[in-house]
Amino acid sequence: MNVQQIKQRFGIIGNTTRLNRAIETALQIAPTDLSVLIVGESGTGKEVFSQIIHQNSARKHNQYIAINCGAIPDGTIDSELFGHEKGAFTGAVDSRKGYFEVVNGGTIFLDEVGELPLNTQVRLLRILEVGEYIRVGSSKIQKTNVRVVAATNVNLLKAVEEGKFREDLYYRLNTVPITIPPLRERKEDIPLLFKKFANDSSEKYGIPPLRLDQAATDLLISYNWPGNIRQLKNLAEQMSILEKERNITFSVLKSYIPQNYDTRLPAIVPKDSEQANYASEREILFKLLFDMKKDMNELKKLVHDIINGNQHNIHISTEQAQNLHKIFETEMPIFDAQQNQSYEVSKPFISTVRTDENIIDTHEVVEESLSLVSKEIDFIKRALAKHKGKRKLAAQELGISERTLYRKIKEYNIEE
C-alpha cells in the first residue's frame, strides 16, 4: 500500500509533510517485529497508527488489542497484562489469562505507556527482551510472541530523569519512533477535517452540512486546538446538532470556542525577553520615583517661598501657613501610604514652624532612600498584604504579570 491508499482505508485527512512522513515510517516498519513508540499529544490519532502497523504486518490475521495503561489501577494492572493464578490475591477465585497470553502471535497497543508503575515496567522489559513473563502468584515462566506498539503524550526522557520511567525500557520501546504532529502544526488540514466531520454528522443525522464563511475559516485555522483532532471533531458534531443556520459566521463559531483560547499568531519576541522585561520595569519605576520626587520638591519649595514672602502675587496668612505645614507633617504620609509611594521622607521638609511674634523659621531636612530594590520589595509586600497574599490580584495591582511577581518573590526571598 502507498500513503494515499492508507489515508483512504483508515480515514486520515491531510497532506502535510510531517503527517505523510509518519505514515511512510509506519508502512516501512510494519513488516518487521520491531517495537515502536508513537509520540504525540492527546487527540492526535496515535491509535490509528498502531492499527496501520498491525494491518500491514505478518500478524494482521492474529489478534490486536489496545490497552490504556492510565485507565487500569496500579493494584490490578499486572494481573490484567500478565494474568494471575487462583488465590494470588483477595478476590482471585479463578486463574485468569493476561493480555500478553491472549494476544500471543498478535499485536498489543499500550497507550499512555508512561503511566505504567515501575514494577510493571520491569515485567514489560522482560517480555520485550526474551518474550517471557510470570503470572501473578505463580513461579512458572510463560512464553509469548507479541509485538508491542506503545504510545505516549508525555516526555519519556524527562520521566526517565525524574525516576518515573526506566531508561532501559525507554530505549527498548523506542527502537523506531513515530512522531504525530499536533493539529496546530497542520493548519492547512484543519478546514478539510472540519468539513469531513460536518459531512459525517450530516449523513448520520440526516441534516444539511455546515458551511463556514472566510472569517470563520480563518478563526478555525488560527485557534490552537489543545485537544487536537478529537476536539475539532467534537466541535463539528456539536455545531451540526445545535445550529439551525447552516452557514456559520465568525461570531457563531467564536461562541463555540473557549473564551481564553490561544490563537498562536506570530509574535516578535526580543532576545532575553525576561531580562528585557525586568529592566523595563525597573526603568519605569525609577522614572516614576523621580517624577514624583520632583513634583513634591516643587510643591515644598512653593510653600517655603509663600511662607517667606517670596511669592509677591500670592498672599497667605500665618494661620494658612500653619495649616500647610500641618498637611506636610500629618496628611502627606497618609497619602503616601495609600498611593503606595516608593520613596520615604524620614522627616518633613518643614520640620519646625514657630509663630512667636509672627516669625516663622524653617529647617529643611531631606533624607530619602533611593534604593530601587528596597522600593520594589516594599511595593510587593504592600500589594500582597492588601490582597491577603493573592498573587494574581497583587500582580494586577502592581501592573506586572503573575509570573514576574512570582520570580521577584523568589529573588528577594519575600515571605508571604
Average pLDDT over residues 100-113: 95
- Look up residue 397 and give its amino acid: E
| 14 and 107 both lie in a single domain | yes
Same domain, 40 and 106: yes
260 found inside a domain: no
Range of the domain at 325: 273-412
Q: Are 31 and 134 within one domain?
A: yes
Tell whether 161 is covered by a domain.
Answer: yes
Domain harbouring 133, CATH code: 3.40.50.300
Over residues 39-94, the pLDDT tens digits come to 999 999 999 999 999 999 999 999 999 999 999 988 889 999 999 998 888 888 88
Instruction: Give tens-digit pLDDT for 369-387.
Output: 445 677 788 888 888 888 8
Using pLDDT thresholds of 50, 70 and 90, give the confidence band for residue 349: very low
Whether 339 and 309 map to the same domain: the answer is yes
pLDDT-based confidence at 362, cuts 50/70/90? Answer: very low
Residue 7 sits in the same domain as residue 128? yes
Q: What is the pLDDT of residues 117-162, one digit of tens each?
A: 999 999 999 999 999 999 999 999 999 999 999 999 999 999 999 9
Q: What's the total number of domains in the chain?
A: 3
Mark whether 116 and 219 lie in a shared domain.
Answer: no
| Residue 209 or residue 366, greater confidence | 209
Same structural domain, 230 and 344:
no
User: Do 213 and 301 lie in a common domain?
Assistant: no
CA 395/CA 226 separation, integer angstroms? 27
280 within a domain of the structure (yes/no): yes
The residue out of 155, 181, 207 marking a domain boundary is: 181
Q: Where are the strands (E) in 60-195, listed by range?
A: 64-68, 107-111, 132-134, 141-143, 147-152, 176-179
Count other Cβ atoms within 10 Å, centred on residue 358.
7
- H/E run at residue 248: strand 247-248
Task: For residues 134 and 196, state if they share a domain.
Answer: no
Q: What is the mean pLDDT of residues 104-126?
A: 95
**Looking at residue 368, what is its pLDDT?**
43
Where residue 207 falls among pLDDT bands split at 50, 70, 90? very high
Does some domain include residue 259? no
Give the residue from 254, 287, 304 where a domain finishes: 254
* Inside any domain, residue 138: yes
Q: Give per-residue pLDDT as tens, 384-410.
A: 888 888 888 888 888 788 888 888 888
Residue 266 lies in a domain: no
**CATH at residue 233:** 1.10.8.60
> Is the whole-model pTM more than 0.75?
no
Give φ, ψ of 328 to 5 degrees.
-65, -35
Write out pLDDT tens, residues 308-342. Answer: 666 555 555 656 655 655 655 554 554 444 444 44
How far apart, in whole angstroms, are the C-alpha atoms of residue 81 and residue 74? 11
pLDDT at 5 over 50: yes
pLDDT above 90 (res 295): no
Same domain, 217 and 307: no
Q: Are residues 34 and 126 in the same domain?
A: yes
Instruction: Tell me whether residue 268 is in a domain.
Output: no
Q: Are residues 286 and 159 in the same domain?
A: no
